[in-house]
Chains A and B, each alone.
Chain A
Amino acid sequence: MATPVAAYRLGNRLLDALPAGHATGLAGDVVILTLKAKQATQSVGERITHVDFPIDAVLSVIATLKTGETVEVGTVGNESFVELEAALDCTLASRTSFCQVEGRVGRMSLERFQGRMATSYGFARAMRTNVRAALFSSQQFAVCNLKHTVVQRCARWLAMTADRVDRPDFSLSREFLAIMLGAKAAVVAEAAERLEQSGAAVYRGSDVRVLDAGALHDAACECYALSKAAFAASLSH
């Protein structure tokens, strides 16, 4: 059920970091929705109708190949927004996105979003700076997928998700993680075992618990810290 935002501070770090004067009236432009896990928020090729600013939900942006294989090309939490293309004047979705970890998003209609992009320099600058961070992360993860081990990529993924939900435990099956990483389930299960042996994180069924964030960050490749830093920089406008 949609609830109008009563007062600002939404819980999405990108919107919350908007300079004073550029957030005026934002509460009236955003409605808070609770998304269920696996709920689609946009389908590839369809007209973009809205932009989602995650609060405690985590969204996935996926690419499906001609072979039907589906791989995640972006994970979005409260540091960013989904339908980045909307900030680049696109009106058609180039990817499918869906809710990966159940939670809330602030949803803004495309019309309102475009209106703000056209009339508020501060808002437009914040969105474009954020798109730049997302672009940097995408490029970094392209390198990551080529060069880093499944254990490193698993650790990066778990660390990023823990940051986004802002708690050490969350639901995320190994099978799902395997699909998102484009890896075999058995390989991801082995990687999860390695992380458990190192004391970084433990799996119980489909639930993950980060036991030692420092150890998890150590197990992750440099891409985790680089992406995190890129978004942090984009939020300090």
Chain B
Amino acid sequence: MQQRAEEPLDVELRWLVEDIYGPAVRGLPGLDVGRAYWGAKAAFPYGGDLVDVFRYGKGFTSIAVIDISGHGIRAAKHAGLTKHALRAYASQGYDAVGAIRALNRLCIENCAFEGESEFFATAFFAIVDAECRSMEYVSAGHEAACLVRGDGARFLDATGPILGLLDDDRAFREGTIALEPGDIIAAVTDGFTEARNEQLEFLGAPALAGVIDHNRDRTAEEQAEAIVLHAFTYAGPRLADDVAAVVLRIT
């Protein structure tokens, strides 16, 4: 009797969590965006890694790759908070650094208000204007995103510390990039860079540029899947952390 009563709740909970982590990215004019995710824990395949793509305003697209401390339903709760807060800030006209500063403050104040344990998150957050071909971004304690264009690859260094650590707007800066047709931007979580092979060597960030370069003629979705697959192939059963990837191609 009790078992039957719990089943609908399980279904609802799964729906709620899957909604946080989101459906596939729909077609976006001027952009080809793809993402892929591998959850390390089969029982609850959603950890603290989150990729969100959001279209808003007059043709802006926000892209967030977030790695939240902790695992399980608590991390999922914080994933939902950060995803929707960033969407709200973006649609209210905040620039990338303004949105991240607001989110940082929210992380701190929300935990203090609710009296719950603090949580931290690393984030790569970008706002792309496909029409003007520009991207502003903040990398808050996150793995460096990779920009691949005709003349090679370069990594986008951090522009701020991990979120939730200190209440200081000045700690966060913004980077801007003038985009060109054919540019590819890829961002991952640390499950990729910290994947280890049999010799316990880290996969590392340079491998990301290699995977993109090797798959540059494929769709963004295929490239994102290739990134996750590369980590999986490299580490095999030792892959203990979630891996999330997003790829953005300027068309």
Contact = CB atoms under 8 A, between A and B. Distances in A.
Q: Shortest 5 CB-CB distances between A and B: which pairs? A: A68-B158, A40-B168, A68-B141, A98-B166, A43-B170
B124 to A, nearest CB: 9
A167 interface: no
Interface of A: 36-40, 43, 46, 62, 64-70, 96, 98, 173, 175-176, 179, 185, 205-206
Given A66-B157, A67-B158, A68-B158, A173 B117 contact: yes
B175 interface: no
Given A66-B158, A70-B162, 16 more contacts: A39-B166, A40-B166, A43-B168, A43-B170, A64-B160, A67-B144, A68-B142, A68-B144, A69-B162, A70-B141, A96-B168, A96-B171, A98-B168, A175-B69, A175-B70, A175-B117
Interface in B72-92: none
Contacts of B170: 40, 43, 46
Contact of B118 (A46, A64, A65, A176): A176
Contacts of A65: 158
A179 B108 CA distance: 15
A46 B158 CA distance: 19
Secondary structure dominating the interface of A: loop
B140 interface: yes
A209 to B, nearest CB: 16
A177 B122 CA distance: 16
Contacts of A98: 165-168
Most buried by B among A40, A67, A206: A67
Nearest to A97: B166
B60 interface: no
A37 B143 CA distance: 26
Contact of A179 (B120, B142, B171): B120
B61 interface: no
Contacts of B167: 36, 38-40, 98
13 contacts: A39-B167, A40-B170, A62-B161, A62-B166, A64-B160, A66-B157, A67-B157, A67-B158, A68-B122, A96-B171, A98-B165, A98-B166, A175-B69
Interface residues on B, range: 20 to 34
Nearest to B168: A40
A68 B161 contact: yes
Nearest to B194: A184
Interface string B84-128: 000000000000000000000000100010000111101000000
B139 interface: yes
Contacts of A37: 112
A70 B119 CA distance: 15
Nearest to A65: B158
Contacts of B168: 40, 43, 96, 98
Interface centre among A38, A68, A175, A205 (most CB of B within 10 A): A68
A62 B70 CA distance: 22
B171 A173 contact: no
A62 B120 CA distance: 16
A205 B74 CA distance: 13
A64 B69 contact: no
Contact of B165 (A66, A70, A206): A70
Nearest to B142: A68
Interface in B145-170: 157-162, 165-168, 170
